[in-house]
Protein backbone atom coordinates (compact mmCIF):
# COMPACT_ATOMS: atom_id res chain seq x y z
CA UNK A 1 0.00 0.00 0.00
CA UNK A 2 1.29 3.47 -0.86
CA UNK A 3 3.85 2.17 -3.34
CA UNK A 4 3.92 4.04 -6.63
CA UNK A 5 3.46 1.96 -9.76
CA UNK A 6 6.05 3.08 -12.33
CA UNK A 7 3.79 2.16 -15.25
CA UNK A 8 0.91 4.23 -13.90
CA UNK A 9 3.21 7.18 -13.25
CA UNK A 10 4.40 6.95 -16.87
CA UNK A 11 0.80 7.45 -18.03
CA UNK A 12 0.80 10.88 -16.39
CA UNK A 13 3.22 12.11 -19.05
CA UNK A 14 0.49 11.95 -21.71
CA UNK A 15 -2.75 12.13 -19.73
CA UNK A 16 -2.21 14.27 -16.61
CA UNK A 17 -5.75 15.57 -16.29
CA UNK A 18 -7.25 12.18 -17.07
CA UNK A 19 -5.67 10.84 -13.90
CA UNK A 20 -7.79 13.23 -11.87
CA UNK A 21 -10.90 11.47 -13.08
CA UNK A 22 -14.34 12.82 -13.73
CA UNK A 23 -17.86 12.32 -12.52
CA UNK A 24 -21.34 13.45 -13.49
CA UNK A 25 -22.79 13.07 -9.99
CA UNK A 26 -25.08 15.98 -9.16
CA UNK A 27 -25.41 16.60 -5.46
CA UNK A 28 -28.97 17.30 -4.27
CA UNK A 29 -30.03 20.41 -2.41
CA UNK A 30 -29.49 19.73 1.32
CA UNK A 31 -33.18 20.44 2.01
CA UNK A 32 -34.09 17.56 -0.34
CA UNK A 33 -31.44 15.05 0.76
CA UNK A 34 -28.61 15.92 3.13
CA UNK A 35 -26.99 12.45 3.24
CA UNK A 36 -24.11 13.46 0.94
CA UNK A 37 -23.46 16.59 2.97
CA UNK A 38 -23.42 14.67 6.25
CA UNK A 39 -20.92 12.19 4.80
CA UNK A 40 -18.70 14.99 3.45
CA UNK A 41 -18.81 16.74 6.83
CA UNK A 42 -17.91 13.47 8.57
CA UNK A 43 -14.84 13.00 6.34
CA UNK A 44 -13.81 16.66 6.64
CA UNK A 45 -14.00 16.46 10.44
CA UNK A 46 -12.14 13.12 10.58
CA UNK A 47 -9.21 14.53 8.58
CA UNK A 48 -9.56 18.13 9.78
CA UNK A 49 -10.09 19.38 6.24
CA UNK A 50 -10.32 23.18 6.32
CA UNK A 51 -9.65 23.93 2.64
CA UNK A 52 -11.44 22.04 -0.11
CA UNK A 53 -10.48 22.60 -3.76
CA UNK A 54 -12.86 21.20 -6.35
CA UNK A 55 -12.20 21.54 -10.06
CA UNK A 56 -14.61 21.34 -12.95
CA UNK A 57 -17.27 23.16 -14.88
CA UNK A 58 -20.70 24.57 -14.12
CA UNK A 59 -22.02 21.58 -12.18
CA UNK A 60 -18.82 21.42 -10.13
CA UNK A 61 -19.03 25.11 -9.29
CA UNK A 62 -22.65 24.55 -8.26
CA UNK A 63 -21.47 21.71 -6.00
CA UNK A 64 -18.85 24.01 -4.45
CA UNK A 65 -21.52 26.56 -3.68
CA UNK A 66 -23.80 23.95 -2.10
CA UNK A 67 -21.03 22.46 0.05
CA UNK A 68 -19.84 25.91 1.12
CA UNK A 69 -23.36 26.95 2.16
CA UNK A 70 -23.88 23.66 4.01
CA UNK A 71 -20.59 23.92 5.92
CA UNK A 72 -21.51 27.45 6.91
CA UNK A 73 -25.02 26.41 7.99
CA UNK A 74 -23.67 23.71 10.34
CA UNK A 75 -20.89 25.98 11.67
CA UNK A 76 -17.95 24.04 10.22
CA UNK A 77 -15.08 26.36 9.26
CA UNK A 78 -13.99 25.25 5.80
CA UNK A 79 -13.01 27.26 2.75
CA UNK A 80 -14.49 25.72 -0.39
CA UNK A 81 -12.67 26.84 -3.52
CA UNK A 82 -13.89 26.12 -7.04
CA UNK A 83 -11.17 25.71 -9.66
CA UNK A 84 -12.59 26.55 -13.12
CA UNK A 85 -11.45 23.64 -15.31
CA UNK A 86 -13.56 22.97 -18.36
CA UNK A 87 -12.85 22.82 -22.06
CA UNK A 88 -16.22 24.49 -22.64
CA UNK A 89 -14.86 27.84 -21.37
CA UNK A 90 -18.35 28.78 -20.25
CA UNK A 91 -17.99 29.63 -16.57
CA UNK A 92 -19.32 32.99 -15.50
CA UNK A 93 -16.65 35.29 -14.12
CA UNK A 94 -13.75 33.71 -16.01
CA UNK A 95 -11.96 34.85 -19.13
CA UNK A 96 -10.42 31.47 -19.91
CA UNK A 97 -10.79 28.21 -18.01
CA UNK A 98 -8.08 25.59 -17.44
CA UNK A 99 -8.21 23.01 -20.21
CA UNK A 100 -9.65 25.31 -22.85
CA UNK A 101 -6.38 26.19 -24.61
CA UNK A 102 -5.26 22.56 -24.71
CA UNK A 103 -8.60 21.57 -26.24
CA UNK A 104 -8.32 24.42 -28.78
CA UNK A 105 -4.86 23.17 -29.77
CA UNK A 106 -6.20 19.66 -30.37
CA UNK A 107 -9.35 20.87 -32.15
CA UNK A 108 -7.27 23.16 -34.38
CA UNK A 109 -4.95 20.31 -35.29
CA UNK A 110 -7.90 18.07 -36.21
CA UNK A 111 -9.48 20.73 -38.44
CA UNK A 112 -6.12 21.53 -40.02
CA UNK A 113 -5.22 17.89 -40.73
CA UNK A 114 -8.54 17.19 -42.46
CA UNK A 115 -7.69 19.67 -45.22
CA UNK A 116 -5.46 17.22 -47.09
CA UNK A 117 -8.06 14.44 -47.14
CA UNK A 118 -10.95 16.76 -47.93
CA UNK A 119 -9.03 18.36 -50.80
CA UNK A 120 -7.60 15.20 -52.32
CA UNK A 121 -10.93 13.35 -52.19
CA UNK A 122 -13.05 16.40 -53.09
CA UNK A 123 -15.29 16.01 -50.06
CA UNK A 124 -17.31 18.00 -47.62
CA UNK A 125 -16.00 17.06 -44.18
CA UNK A 126 -18.04 17.65 -41.04
CA UNK A 127 -16.11 17.75 -37.78
CA UNK A 128 -18.02 17.76 -34.50
CA UNK A 129 -16.14 19.52 -31.72
CA UNK A 130 -16.98 19.29 -28.03
CA UNK A 131 -18.10 22.21 -25.91
CA UNK A 132 -21.55 21.19 -24.69
CA UNK A 133 -23.81 24.22 -25.15
CA UNK A 134 -20.99 26.74 -25.62
CA UNK A 135 -19.38 27.40 -28.99
CA UNK A 136 -16.05 28.85 -27.85
CA UNK A 137 -14.04 25.71 -28.51
CA UNK A 138 -15.51 25.19 -31.98
CA UNK A 139 -15.16 28.87 -32.87
CA UNK A 140 -11.50 29.11 -31.85
CA UNK A 141 -10.57 25.72 -33.37
CA UNK A 142 -12.55 26.37 -36.54
CA UNK A 143 -10.96 29.76 -37.17
CA UNK A 144 -7.43 28.64 -36.28
CA UNK A 145 -7.71 25.39 -38.25
CA UNK A 146 -9.24 27.00 -41.31
CA UNK A 147 -12.78 25.61 -41.30
CA UNK A 148 -14.93 27.01 -44.09
CA UNK A 149 -18.18 26.96 -42.11
CA UNK A 150 -18.58 27.04 -38.32
CA UNK A 151 -21.85 26.14 -36.61
CA UNK A 152 -22.36 27.18 -32.99
CA UNK A 153 -25.02 26.50 -30.34
CA UNK A 154 -25.45 30.22 -29.74
CA UNK A 155 -26.58 30.78 -33.33
CA UNK A 156 -29.14 28.32 -34.75
CA UNK A 157 -28.34 27.39 -38.33
CA UNK A 158 -30.42 26.76 -41.42
CA UNK A 159 -29.26 23.63 -43.25
CA UNK A 160 -30.29 25.12 -46.59
CA UNK A 161 -27.97 28.10 -46.02
CA UNK A 162 -25.15 25.73 -45.10
CA UNK A 163 -25.71 23.82 -48.37
CA UNK A 164 -25.78 27.11 -50.31
CA UNK A 165 -22.46 28.14 -48.76
CA UNK A 166 -20.88 24.82 -49.78
CA UNK A 167 -22.26 25.20 -53.31
CA UNK A 168 -20.94 28.79 -53.54
CA UNK A 169 -17.48 27.55 -52.61
CA UNK A 170 -17.68 24.86 -55.29
CA UNK A 171 -18.75 27.41 -57.95
CA UNK A 172 -15.74 29.54 -56.99
CA UNK A 173 -13.44 26.59 -57.62
CA UNK A 174 -13.02 25.03 -54.19
CA UNK A 175 -13.39 21.28 -54.54
CA UNK A 176 -13.91 20.71 -50.80
CA UNK A 177 -15.38 22.28 -47.69
CA UNK A 178 -14.75 21.75 -44.00
CA UNK A 179 -17.59 22.34 -41.58
CA UNK A 180 -16.81 22.62 -37.86
CA UNK A 181 -19.92 21.89 -35.79
CA UNK A 182 -20.18 22.43 -32.04
CA UNK A 183 -21.76 19.45 -30.32
CA UNK A 184 -24.65 21.61 -29.10
CA UNK A 185 -25.37 23.28 -32.47
CA UNK A 186 -29.02 23.16 -33.46
CA UNK A 187 -30.90 23.97 -36.65
What are the two backbone dihedrals, phi and then psi, of residue 77, each rounded to the nearest 5 degrees?
Answer: -80, 100
Active site residue 59: no
The rounded radius of gyration (Å) of the Cα atoms in the chain is 22
| 180 Cβ neighbours under 8 A, 6+ residues apart | 107, 111, 127, 129, 138, 141, 142, 145, 147, 149, 150, 151
Burial of 1 (0-12, 13-18, 19+ CB in 10 A): exposed
Q: Which of 77, 88, 90, 105 is catalytic?
A: 88
Phi, psi of 51 (to 5 degrees): -135, 125
First to last CA, the chain: 54
Catalytic (active-site) positions: 88
Amino acid sequence: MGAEDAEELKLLLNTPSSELGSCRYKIAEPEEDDSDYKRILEVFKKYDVRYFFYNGGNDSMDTCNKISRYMSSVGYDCRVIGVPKTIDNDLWGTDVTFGFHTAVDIGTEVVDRVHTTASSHKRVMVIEIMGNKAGWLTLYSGIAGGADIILLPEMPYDIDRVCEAVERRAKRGSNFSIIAVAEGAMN
